[in-house]
Amino acid sequence: MLLELTSDQEFLRDTTAKFLASLAPADILRSLRNDPDGFDREYWRRGADLGWISLLVGDEHGGGSVSGRGLIDLTLIAHEFGRRAAPGPLLPCNIVAAALSASSTHREVLESLLTGASVAAWCTEEALPHGVYDPIGLEIRTDGNGLVLNGVKRPIEAAAQADHLLVAGRTGGGLTQVLVPAGTAGMTITPMRGVDLTRRFARVSFEDVRVPSDMAVGEIGAAAKAIELQLHQALVIQNGETVGAMAAAFDMTVEWAFDRYSFGRPLASYQELKHRFADMKSWLEAAHAIADAAAEAVADQSEEAGELVSVAKAFIGQYGLELIQDCVQIHGGIGVTFEHDLHLFLRRATANRVLLGTPADHRQQVAVYAMEEERAGE
């Protein structure tokens, strides 16, 4: 992304890029199409050794960042994931690890996430009809010394592959988060079909799922602020990944346009394509800028963080897909073949567009912020 990087950040980015180029080339991604997990466990453990899961975790819990600003560092990894359409549950594992670190709970689970020995799913989304900011519907009630969960979450990334699921639900007038071990009685995980070749999503239903009260993450009924921060962090990671996919598709298409000749001239020499490339480049640079601005705001926990992540998701969700679709069209017939790499980035951007709220959902949320600011100024 367009950050002024420190030498340590450059090393983190370059190491991740080289690792992904070596262990997750396009032919490997295609071979994972029918793999039940969508990623290799040893690959994930080696990625964890590079620090993929530690950046939002406090030093006192075995984490740490290279610059002191873990979320900014994590956007560099997310960007490289997007540039490679890389496999692995980067977003859910980081969000769950950050939540466990912030609440100082479940140290053994956190340690296993940091080493890559286990995987976690983040169960907040419920595919609600009016956007990601709708009230959470799943119920978590107290019952003696336990907590009982009832409801449905979908689509949940890596739910079937996870060893633990961090589940958000409503307890009375507040929100609660609970860490539920895989295989807990009453929990049913149903795989869902998706466009991404390597990411796996599922529907998770909870029917009188009972866990001890000490499986709560944070205070019961008081998790609203923590969940809001997690949503913002997740959107920052997702936006960084989509911008990486945009950049990879754009670079690939520019190179193709100079190499491909039509009527004795390279495609890049035609005025119509020059205009389209100019538009695409402006979208890409704007996406870089707004993604960086949102990441900075969330990292600083600024009052503008919520508005900026929604602005970023609305813009990147719309123009990211439009840019990559243009890249496919410029490639012509080869651009729609399975053998070409473009569809890898198109699939990643298409999935990201609808996860954590669509562009329309976030434009609506930006309008809500604008009205609140207007009322506050009266």
**In the numeric block, which tokens belong to residue 248?**
């990879």
As a whole-number percent, the residues of the chain with pLDDT over 70 amount to 97
Residue 23: pLDDT over 80: yes
Find the helix or strand (DSSP H, E) in which 255 lies.
helix 224-259
User: Binning pLDDT at 50, 70 and 90, where does residue 363 land?
Assistant: very high
Q: Which fold has domain 7-118?
A: Butyryl-Coa Dehydrogenase, subunit A; domain 1 (1.10.540)
Asked whether 81 and 20 are in contact (CB, 8 A), the reply is yes
**122-215: same fold as 7-118?**
no
pLDDT of residue 133: 42
Q: What is the pLDDT of residue 126?
A: 80
Position 135 pLDDT exceeds 90: no
Residue (of 113, 195, 126, 198) closest to 162 by Cα position = 113
- Tell me the β-bridge partners of 120: 164
Look up the CATH number of domain 224-377: 1.20.140.10
What does the block give as tokens for 195?
């466009």
Position 89 scores a pLDDT of 98
Q: What are 265-302's pLDDT values in tens digits?
A: 888 888 889 999 999 999 999 999 999 999 999 999 99
The per-residue pLDDT for 130 is 45
Residue 101 exposed, middle or buried by CB count within 10 Å (0-12, 13-18, 19+): buried
327, 250 Cβ separation under 8 angstroms = yes
The per-residue pLDDT for range 31-78, each reduced to its tens digit, is: 999 999 999 999 999 999 999 999 999 999 999 999 999 999 999 999
Sequence ranges of the domains in the chain: 7-118, 122-215, 224-377
Query: At the fourth CATH level, which superfamily is domain 122-215?
Result: Butyryl-CoA Dehydrogenase, subunit A, domain 2 (2.40.110.10)
Sequence letter at residue 4: E
